[in-house]
Amino acid sequence: MSYGSRKKSLLIGINYTGSENELRGCHQDVANVAEFLSYRGYSDDPRSQVILRDDMEGQYYPSGHNILAAIDWLVSEPGTTNFFHYSGHGGQVQDPTGNHPSGLLDTICPVDFRERGQIDSDILHQHLVSALPPSSTLFVILDCCHSGSALELPFVYRSDDDGNISLMDNLKAGVRLMGEANDLFRGGFSFDKMAEAKDLYAGATNFFRGFKHMGEEEGLAEGDYGAYEREHKMVTMFSGCRDDQTSADANIGGMSEGAMSWAFLETMKKMANPTYLQALQDTRYNLRQSNYTQVPQLSIGIEINLEQPLAL
């Protein structure tokens, strides 16, 4: 598979200025990432780079409508190398379709999310991953809460405190948890067992989301979850935290910025051409050294060798 050389980028930073949800570092994140991309061969020409911030107006104001329109622009061309960065609030909403066992979907929060709603993981996957031409690539940084499953990518990697990388096998982990819940009831029902089973089922639902997204029938068979894998899109995402963690604002050199964005950019400053493995390990190290407890996560649309150089 060969990929094109034209590079496009979409950078979104939302401080929710003047609201009770106000953040401080998201505009700075955009500035930092834009500077980084300029060194990596990305143009800041309006044909190649779009920036949305809530101190801008018109089509560059990060409303839900404008965010989706900009995402559609980003992945609209075959043979392109694409970069998407989002810094702002992330959340969870009730699943409007009723198709997700957990009843919840991870989201990003446009500036008008209170009036117009949030953008959930099903919509993000549809617009960013499913719509990406097979000849294009996409690199994503999400610096927000509840970002671990925001794109519903099939291969998920995390680093422990010692730098060891583990593959979170979504299917097998989910099946195991569901099996443990079912095993509880062998030998008789009890309310204590019911409570424990609910906890296990809740844990399993993180691994079984969006089965109908690709037109598959709902179920727990490997073929259903494999729909994401069968898309075979070269999408890479570094996310700021696991679904159960809070992504932090950092104060670096007197300026507020997202901890995840800062940690990733620090890694790229130290290593001009890191492998996927090194980038994940060093981003985790930077966060720990600065006393941030969040765990960065690498999610990929296809199975790759993590020892190969990070493709931007």
Amino acid identity, position 237? M
C-alpha 272/C-alpha 286 separation (Å) is: 16
Q: Which DSSP helix (H) or strand (E) runs through 37? A: helix 26-39
Q: Look at residues 46, 50, 246 and name the one whose alpha carbon lies nearest to residue 146.
A: 246
Concerning whether 89 is annotated as a catalytic residue, the answer is yes
Q: In 3-state terms, what secondary structure has residue 26?
A: helix
Burial pattern 190-229, b for ≥16 Cβ within 10 A else e, equals eeebeeebeebbebbbbbbbbbebeebeeeeeeebbebbb
Q: In 3-state terms, what secondary structure has residue 17?
A: coil
CA angle 112/116/118 to nearest 5° reads: 80
C-alpha 93/C-alpha 205 separation (Å) is: 15
C-alpha 143/C-alpha 86 separation (Å) is: 6
Catalytic-labelled residue, pool 89, 125, 127, 213: 89
Catalytic-labelled residue, pool 145, 146, 213, 241: 145
C-alpha 34/C-alpha 9 separation (Å) is: 9
DSSP type of residue 246: -
The phi and psi torsions of 159 (rounded to 5 degrees) equal -110, 140
Catalytically active residues, by annotation: 89, 145
